[in-house]
Amino acid sequence: MENRYALPPYKIKMIEPIHQTTHEEREKRLAEAGYNVFQLRSDDVFIDLLTDSGTGAMSHFQWGALMIGDESYAGSASYFRLEAVVKRITGYNYVMPAHQGRGAEQVVIPEMIAHHGMVFISNTHFDTTRAHVEIAGARAVDTAIDACFDTAHYHPFKGNFDLAKLEREILAHGRENVAGIIVTVTNNAVGGQPVSMENIRAVRAMAIKYGIKTVIDGARYAENAYFIKIREAGYRDVPIRTIAREMFDNADVLLMSSKKDGLVNIGGLIAIKDDAELFRRCQTRIVPMEGFPTYGGLAGRDMDALAVGLGEALEEDYLRYRIDEVRYLGDRLLAAGVPIQVPTGGHAVFVDCGKLCPQIPFDQFPALAVTNALYLEGGVRAVEIGSLLLGRNPDTGKNSRAELELMRLTIPRRTYTFQHLDYVADCLVAVANRAGALKGLTFTYESPVLRHFTSRFKPL
């Protein structure tokens, strides 16, 4: 008999104890944290769905790989093992590790900006990518399809570019002022939604037409490849590795936080297809920013674990269970009437807090209010993906208004069971039943960059 949801293709070999706190303890801890769940101690969190970045469990093959790590400063054997794996997966000629995705961004993005006034265009820039674009003096422009903002209705590839918008932006800014087109897969900010291969090919064709480089933000590229396999015509019988390779064939550069689909606790990647001059410039920049080009801020043992994890993340049994785990939590919430982005994405369930708390204005951060209420209810930590994360307009200084006020319930890889997810659903349903009484928040301290990480608040 076929199961409705896939069974985990692994068994548990080691556990990490977690413990529950009381409601009174959580009230105190949240106040001490300035009503910002990023500032909570992990010991005070029962189920941590803040992020899937580096929070998953490694396999025994990865733990074994740690023991062969070569900690040489330059020319480490661990680097060459990692390089060989990345070249096989991507087909790209040049590979450098970084300590994580933002390390890769701080090296590559400035080297793609030729002069003042340039822009990067994406389906949707996520937080650190947007920040590094702006820090480097450029501007970030988003061109996702309108369907991604209609959370209640199904579209198989809500992460897609709106191709007409993309071309309008290229023409409006002038192709000489477009530093690059960034394809974010999956598209995190709009619900972990996939981008179709048809859309990726069309974006690539437009980039070639106008002489613009294409960059894949590939933190969750394996999940995107799996969605292509199960949702896009003509790919059902195509191996995941082949689909992933076709994605990379349609770009020039890969920037990756390997803490997601690399299945490791730390690590990032830069891969460049064939632009030797760009690689040399990045190689020069990485030394002061991250470290020598053959370690890039990573220990040898981390590179060996990543070399194994990149392969495991492309296993179809793993991906099937990974996607179904997210779908299970989404189905539980939908059955209870909680508004979420549908269909569920690859790494998280995104709750539509604009619908849940219409009484809270965007600049009082409705998704942060729900996030705090969820922590108080059951010690569950989630994260705001809305106007707080979007930040201020870098030219006017005014609060930018996000199209969606989302709370992300991010599921770490190979970490929690369905019983944990049932508990999360029960807690959130309890919060949703009193959502109309929730109040917004205002700043007591606002960080000037990536403000959602370190700002402090008070309830209104």
Q: Which residue in the list 158, 259, 260, 273 is annotated as catalytic?
A: 260
| H-helix or E-strand spanning residue 255 | strand 253-257
| H-helix or E-strand spanning residue 214 | strand 214-217
Q: How far is Cα of residue 271 from the mean position of the Cα atoms in its chain?
A: 18
DSSP label of 42:
G
Among 234, 231, 273, 233, residue whose Cα is nearest residue 250: 273
Q: Which residue in the list 99, 213, 273, 452 is annotated as catalytic?
A: 452
Q: Which residue in the list 98, 207, 219, 307 is annotated as catalytic?
A: 219
Among 301, 221, 212, residue whose Cα is nearest residue 254: 221
217 is annotated as an active-site residue: yes
452 is annotated as an active-site residue: yes
Q: Which residue in the list 73, 74, 172, 276 is annotated as catalytic?
A: 73
State the residue for tokens 């001059």. 277
Q: Go through 340-349 and write b for each residue having 16 or more CB atoms within 10 A of its CB, e for each that does not.
A: bbbbbbbbbb
Q: If you write DSSP's letter for every residue of 100-122 in order, what string do you get? A: SHHHHHHHHHHHH--STT-EEEE
Residues 389, 158, 316, 200: what is their CA dihedral angle, to the nearest 10 degrees? -100
126 is annotated as an active-site residue: yes
Q: Which residue in the list 44, 52, 127, 142 is annotated as catalytic?
A: 127
Residue type at position 111: E
Degrees (nearest 5) of the Cα angle 275, 280, 285? Answer: 125
DSSP label of 427:
H
Q: How far apart are alpha carbons 140 and 182 in whole angstroms?
A: 10
Q: How far is residue 205 from each of residues 163, 175, 190, 244, 427, measured CA to CA in Å? A: 11, 14, 24, 18, 46
Q: Which residue in the list 35, 79, 92, 126 is annotated as catalytic?
A: 126
Give the count of beta carbons closer than 10 Å to the beta carbon of residue 170.
Answer: 22
> Which two tokens mark 318?
């793993």
Beta-sheet pairing, 383-385 with 406-410: antiparallel
73 is annotated as an active-site residue: yes
Q: Which residue in the list 217, 252, 302, 352 is annotated as catalytic?
A: 217
Residues serving a catalytic function are 73, 126-127, 217, 219, 260, 452
